[in-house]
Structure 1
């Protein structure tokens, strides 16, 4: 359910783009991101950091797109978000005693510190990659192709990365299960 809630602004953007245009889709994206951010606060009693970061960047880049009637700003938004997340993941190696990925997943699984560090670096590199691919598609293809890539390409790449991450973690999860069986 959480994934659907996190995904709905992008889905609405896609639908409105296909029905109207990039500017209407951008306005809907800004509104949907605001609803998502406030909705999480009302339902869970707190703001989710990723929603807040995304909403701020959507409001900035989307606002510039609407104000200047230039679609390039909204096309830069996925890159800005992904590169900001990469900076956060890299920065977490130097701030605090746990990486951001360990803070997010550490309550659910137990891994050795070197594995947490590799996983965190992998996510940072993945976010850098996503940002670069977004720029390539935004500047080398038409807007319709970019919108399709934004929905299906970025989601597909993320899903593939999560599967790869899961396969990487399997041996460590087996070790943890074997240790708990003793």
Structure 2
């Protein structure tokens, strides 16, 4: 099935739903500690433990429905899994909090490398959402 055959709300729901669910659950569980299996976990850690599989399931559903996943979605899923897993395993919320910074650094490095080569790698990721000429992509990347 292609993006064109899906109702317009399905793709945004699958892409942003897990993030929205994370924030709603965090707001409900913040500042509370929970004892599980003899260890005490902050609400943020438990929300992270729920967020990782939710993101992976929604990404898999999106792939099943559309037959494709953008490189940005793949990188996000990998980093959330790694840093979310470290957060839960080590019971330390610093790891998941590093993820946005690392994603931005990686993307900035990739876009900067593309600019040095005279190309807009942003176009590869977003060309379906924003149809533009090559010059427009170069301006947007800068």
How large is the Cα RMSD of the aligned pairs? 2.3
Structure 1 gaps of 5+ residues are 122-182
Aligned partner of 1:7 in structure 2 is 16
User: Structure 1 residue 71 and structure 2 residue 93: aligned?
Assistant: yes
Q: Which runs of 4+ in 1 moved over 6 A?
A: none
Q: For residues 9-68 of structure 1, give each alpha carbon's deviation from its aligned partner in whole angstroms, at most 9, with x where no partner exists.
A: 211111221223101110121012101221111101123222211111001111111111
Task: Please state how far the C-alpha of 1:106 moved relative to its aligned partner.
Answer: 7.7
As a proportion of its length, which structure holds more strand? Answer: 2
**Aligned CA distance change for structure 1 residues 105 and 45 (closer, same or farther; 3 Å):** closer
SS of structure 1 residue aligned to 2:115: coil
User: How far apart, in 1, do the equivalents of 2:127 and 2:68 lie?
Assistant: 19
User: What's the TM-score, normalizing by structure 1?
Assistant: 0.57
* Higher helix proportion (structure 1 or 2): 1
TM-score w.r.t. structure 2 length? 0.71
1:45 corresponds to: 67
- Equivalenced residue count is 119
Match of 1:17 in 2: 26
Residues 75-134 of structure 1, C-alpha deviations (whole Å, 9 max, x = no match): 111111122121221222245x64123333389544462x4323102xxxxxxxxxxxxx
Structure 1 residues 38, 89: CA separation in 2 closer, same or farther (over 3 Å shift)? same
Equivalent residue number for residue 32 of structure 1: 54
